[in-house]
Amino acid sequence: MKIWGLFLIFSLLFFACTNPKPKPQAPSVNWTPLDEPPLYPDCPQENSKSNWDCFAKTLQKKLNAKWAADKLSFDDLNDTLYVTLKLDKLGQLSVMNYKNGKQLQSSPVVLTSFEELVASLPLFQPAFKTNLEVAVEVQWTLPIVISK
C-alpha cells in the first residue's frame, strides 16, 4: 500500500512539473476603432475625421499666412511637401522629416518657417490606446500644398 501511495504522489508531481504553463499573451498594440485618436484643441469636433480635416485646413491657413507675413514667394511653383509629424504622449507635436515633391527644392527658409509654426501650435490631446489604458505616440505624414 505504501508503494502505491508513493507511486501516486510521484506520478502526480511528475505530471504537474512537466505540463507546460500557459504563456501570457501580449496585449494588442494595433490600432482599433475603439482607440481614441489625437485631437487638435482648436477644432472641437467630436468626430475624429472632422477634427483631422479641421487641423489640416487650419495648419495650411496658418502656414500660408506665415509665408505671406515673411514675404516668401513661390512664383509659378505648384507642388506638395510631405511632412512626417510625431505627436508624443504629452500632446507635443514635432516634425520628424520632409519629403519633397517633384518641383520643390527644400529651401531652409520654408522648412524653418514650417517648424516654427508647428512649435507654436497648442498641445494636442494625445492618442489613447483604450485596451492598454495609456497615451501613445503616433506619427503620420501630412501633405502641405505649396503654390503661389
In angstroms, the CA 14 to CA 69 distance is: 80
What pTM does this model have?
A: 0.69
Distance of CA 146 to the CA centre of its chain: 24
Which tens digit of pLDDT belongs to each residue from 29-85? 677 777 888 888 888 767 778 888 888 888 888 888 887 887 766 666 677 788 899
**What's the maximum distance between 2 C-alpha atoms anywhere in the chain?**
101
> Do 83 and 142 contact (CB within 8 A), yes or no?
yes
- Domain boundaries 39-147, CATH class: alpha beta
Average pLDDT, the chain: 78
What's the pLDDT at 92? Answer: 92
In angstroms, the CA 116 to CA 19 distance is: 60
| Mean local confidence (pLDDT), 14-21 | 64
Q: Which residue has the higher pLDDT, 14 or 39?
A: 39
